[in-house]
Amino acid sequence: MEITIDRNSRTPIYRQIVDRIHEMITSGALPPGFSLPPERRLADALGVNRTTVLTAYRDLKGTGLIDAHVGRGTIVAEQSSATIERSTDSSPLAWSQLFRDRASRTRDPLIRDLLELTERPDVIVLSAGLPAPEHLPHELLGELTTELVRDIGPALIQYGPTEGLSSLRRSLSRWLLTRGHRTSPADLMILSGSQQGLDLTARVFLDPGDTVVVEAPTYIGALEVFRTARVRLLEVPTDAEGMRTDVLADLLERHRPKLIYTLPTFQNPSGTVMSLERRRHLLELAIRHRVPVLEDDPYGELRYSGEPIPSLKALDRTGHVIHLSTFSKTLMPGLRIGYMIAPRPAMQQFVLAKQTIDLHSNTLGQWILDRILRNDLLEPRLAVLRKVYASRRDALETALAAHRDVDISWKSPAGGFYLWCKLPRSVERTRLVASAASAGVSFLPGWTSFAEEPDENFVRLSFSFADEKQLEEGANRFAIAVQHAASSTRKAVQQETGTPTIV
């Protein structure tokens, strides 16, 4: 396999590797099943950093050209476009040649892969932010549907307004008042999940090349949206009080970002809460530099200790904040119902953009949520969930803490779904993914939550989906996987250097 790197080229090195391998696969030079060299070997051969090769392989995996298999390494996919593109006449259409642009061909399939793991009974899922399955209100859903069929009739499944059913927007605006949001129904739009709000924001505001400020770390699903929009991402570090607004102030002076994206409350993945002082400072900066703030808040209701802090939207007196939230974590993710609160001029554009995507969100789901809010069924449910998740968090923390010989540290989150754990840098991340898969536990690798390659080694463990017993077992399996990865990293270093190395 011959790859030449041009260090003077403006094309990033990882992209040069992607392009060359892509070319070799589509020309048939690398046949399906061909084993690509391990990342370290290729990195050494090319004289590049290992993460450069890792990024290139991830890109290629996203296009479906290569597959990574634990135990078999990285191979050219059986159904790679080589097989498709080289064949003639009656051959299937070469779809991969037709996609709009590179960006949409190279999206990372990680979220989809993580969701898929939830169906494997042998794997304890600590990777995905799924609500507790035993507490999903499926019986209530049945009862309400029967009631609604009787009361609403065919309108239950009719088309509806793009902004959302007016009955729901009224009940939601009343409920939001209890959360400190003085929001009229006209400032609200019902979304098909808050993920849609991220996508709409990109569609309405972002042109390729624009700059967006994100926290480091941040939500992987937002990174994917912004990358697809081909914007430049500027990271602001976070600490125990959330986004470092002193650093933000400096960035805003030097760059002219189009948007600031933040998760101030029980951040995904770090679990941190932005202090009130920082929230005020962030708004001050947004006003001074005339930049809109996108506040993503799926976990705000899931606080297990301490007093709530007003959302940025609740503090926003000047209309700089677009607020997203969802009922995915507190009711049922399958309803796909979230919402956006936005200043009127922006809202008009959001509505037009949503209209082209799905016309409106699921009507039945909207009626169900409307009934839940009108019948005051949400509050008692939240009270139960807060207890359930607090005990799950404690169970995971206790089980991890029992492994004193394994170097894992974290700060206990006061809410949300996640434990953000720091591991020694010496635990090589691809080895950890492989040893966790063979131990039967899944986790979210921390590097996926950064716009740039992080200096430190993190993992996100979710405590929402597995029950307490599974969490204990999951923590044990994860601790074993860390030990295993650490010792195999040590062995590899020794083999490569020929000397015993302390790492």
Ligand X SMILES: Cc1ncc(COP(=O)(O)O)c(C=O)c1O
> Cα-atom radius of gyration of the chain, to the nearest Å?
24
Alpha-carbon distances of 65 from 95, 224, 389, rounded to whole Å: 12, 19, 40
Q: Determine the Cα–Cα distance for residues 14 and 56; give it in Å rounded to an integer.
A: 5
Report, in Å, the least distance between residue 129 CB and ligand X.
4
Report, in Å, the least distance between residue 40 CB and ligand X.
33
Question: Which is nearer to ligand X, 223 or 347 (by Cβ)?
Answer: 223
3-class DSSP state of 498: coil
Query: Which residue in the shown chain puts its C-beta closest to ligand X?
Result: 193
Q: Determine the Cα–Cα distance for residues 107 and 332; give it in Å rounded to an integer.
A: 27
Question: Which is nearer to ligand X, 191 or 439 (by Cβ)?
Answer: 191
Question: Which is nearer to ligand X, 295 or 397 (by Cβ)?
Answer: 295
Question: Which is nearer to ligand X, 183 or 268 (by Cβ)?
Answer: 268
- Measured in degrees and rounded to the nearest 5, phi and psi for residue 51 equal -65, -25
Q: Determine the Cα–Cα distance for residues 287 and 57; give it in Å rounded to an integer.
A: 41
Report, in Å, the least distance between residue 207 CB and ligand X.
23
> Residue 2: what residue type?
E
Report, in Å, the least distance between residue 138 CB and ligand X.
17
Q: Token pair of 173, please?
A: 């605006």
Q: Determine the Cα–Cα distance for residues 165 and 163; give it in Å rounded to an integer.
A: 7
Report, in Å, the least distance between residue 228 CB and ligand X.
15
List, as own/partner pairs, every contact residues 399-404 make where C-beta atoms lie below 8 angstroms and the sequence separation is at least 24, other chains included.
Answer: 399/471, 399/472, 399/474, 399/475, 399/476, 400/461, 400/475, 400/478, 400/479, 402/475, 403/475, 403/476, 403/479
Report, in Å, the least distance between residue 328 CB and ligand X.
3
Question: Which is nearer to ligand X, 217 or 333 (by Cβ)?
Answer: 333
3-class DSSP state of 77: coil
- Would you tell me how many other CB atoms lie within 10 Å of the CB of residue 251? 18
Report, in Å, the least distance between residue 462 CB and ligand X.
10
Report, in Å, the least distance between residue 417 CB and ligand X.
8
Residues in the chain: 503
Report, in Å, the least distance between residue 227 CB and ligand X.
15
Binding site for ligand X (CB under 6 A): 129, 193-195, 219, 221, 263, 268, 296, 298, 326, 328, 333, 338
Helix (H) or strand (E) holding 422: strand 418-423
Question: Which is nearer to ligand X, 81 or 238 (by Cβ)?
Answer: 238
Question: Which is nearer to ligand X, 197 or 292 (by Cβ)?
Answer: 197
3-class DSSP state of 460: strand
Pairing of strands 444-445, 457-462: antiparallel
Q: Which residues pair with 69 in a beta bridge?
A: 73
**Helix-strand-coil percent breakdown of the chain, rounded to 5?**
50, 15, 40
Q: Token pair of 182, please?
A: 């003085």
Report, in Å, the least distance between residue 221 CB and ligand X.
6
Question: Which is nearer to ligand X, 193 or 271 (by Cβ)?
Answer: 193
Question: Which is nearer to ligand X, 55 or 194 (by Cβ)?
Answer: 194
Question: Which is nearer to ligand X, 228 or 476 (by Cβ)?
Answer: 228
Residue 248, burial from CB neighbour count under 10 angstroms (0-12, 13-18, 19+): buried
